Amino acid sequence: MTASTALAPLVTSEPRSHPAPRVRFDPRLYQIGALSALLTYGLLRLDLEVSPPRAALILATALATQHACTRLWRLGRFDAKSALISGLSLCLLLRTPYAALAAAGAVLAIAGKFVIRIRGKHVFNPTNFALVALLLTGQAWASPGQWGSAAVLGFFVVCLGGLVVNRAARSDITLAFLLAFGALVFGRSLWLGEPMAIPLHRLSNGALLVFAFFMISDPRTTPDRRAARVLFACLVALGAAYVQFRLFRTNGLLWSLAAASPLVPVLDRLWPGARHAWPGQPLSR
């Protein structure tokens, strides 16, 4: 009996998992490299509101939580890649004066993807879930990610390269979101007669890039069908624009993604597609 035959009874009620397209190396390594480079640049060259000890605490807590959940769920092999991506994203975006709250954010990000699942699939992006949960406490905030135009441009180029390297990174949802959100931001400025420098400034921040390339593009929390992913990206863009320009609240991207994420199981029901799995790890979390 083959492995696929043995697993067949477990997946008969939902779309079958398919490994991501074959690549030379795990594409998450590219994502880890990009986020690590940005964090290192911020720590060494910019005055980021996160210290090396705080970053180390977040990363260590994320890895420890991943290890504990791997053993608790009896998954066998410990895989640190997804936990590192979530931890690095939290280092770049999460700000709080309390070390315990920062560590709690790492625990929520990793444990949440094991606990909150529908039909075996994550509901919320781990980093987004942790950030929104901590924002609700009133004791934490998300950094706007103003790292300077040179750093933002360089990071954008690196992120675009990541889409080429990692075809499983849901480049369609990233591009659809950037086009939809950009059109809304520019369209509003044109309607109000604002100079184009204003929408360009709104779009020139690292937090938007982290969101577009590492949150909404997470293949484990996005719809399985391409058409559904494009629709989902447009809904998130509309929600973010509404929060920012109608409710006049910050962190519209985070609130919108958190609110729209429960729609993913519905979209998967309406438009079923092949379930994503990382290469060689069809049951990874």
Q: Which residues contact 81 (CB under 8 A, 6 or more apart)?
A: 26, 28, 29, 32
**Four-residue CA torsion sign, 222, 225, 227, 228:** negative
Q: Are 265 and 121 within 8 A, CB to CB?
A: yes
Which backbone phi and psi does 98 adopt, to 5 degrees?
-110, 120
Residues shown for the chain: 285
In order, the DSSP letters of 179-218 are HHHHHHHHHHHHHHT--THHHHHHH--HHHHHIIIIITT-
Each residue's pLDDT, cut to its tens digit, for the chain (285 residues) gives: 444 444 344 444 444 544 444 445 677 888 898 899 889 988 888 777 788 999 999 999 999 999 999 999 988 788 899 999 999 999 999 999 999 999 999 999 999 999 999 988 889 999 999 999 999 999 999 987 667 666 777 777 777 767 655 655 568 899 999 999 999 999 999 999 999 999 988 888 888 988 998 899 888 899 999 999 999 999 999 999 999 999 999 999 999 999 999 999 999 999 998 877 666 554 445
Reported pTM: 0.85
Q: What is the per-residue pLDDT for 278?
A: 64
Please state, in angstroms and as integers, the Cα–Cα distance from residue 211 to each residue in 3, 34, 38, 236, 242, following that order.
Answer: 36, 14, 14, 11, 17
Q: Are 219 and 170 in contact (CB under 8 A)?
A: yes
**Counts of helices then strands in the chain (DSSP H, E):** 13, 6
> 95 forms bridges with which residues in the sheet?
141
Is the four-CA dihedral 250, 175, 212, 269 of positive or negative sign? positive
Q: Which residues pair with 94 in a beta bridge?
A: 142
263: tokens are: 């729609």
- Residue 154 pLDDT: 76
The predicted pLDDT at position 150 comes to: 67
Structure tokens at 279: 């290469």
> DSSP letter at 82?
H
**Cβ distance 117 to 123 under 8 Å?**
yes
Residue 151 is predicted with a pLDDT of: 73
Phi, psi torsion values for 141, nearest 5 degrees: -145, 165
Both tokens of 210, joined, read 């982290």
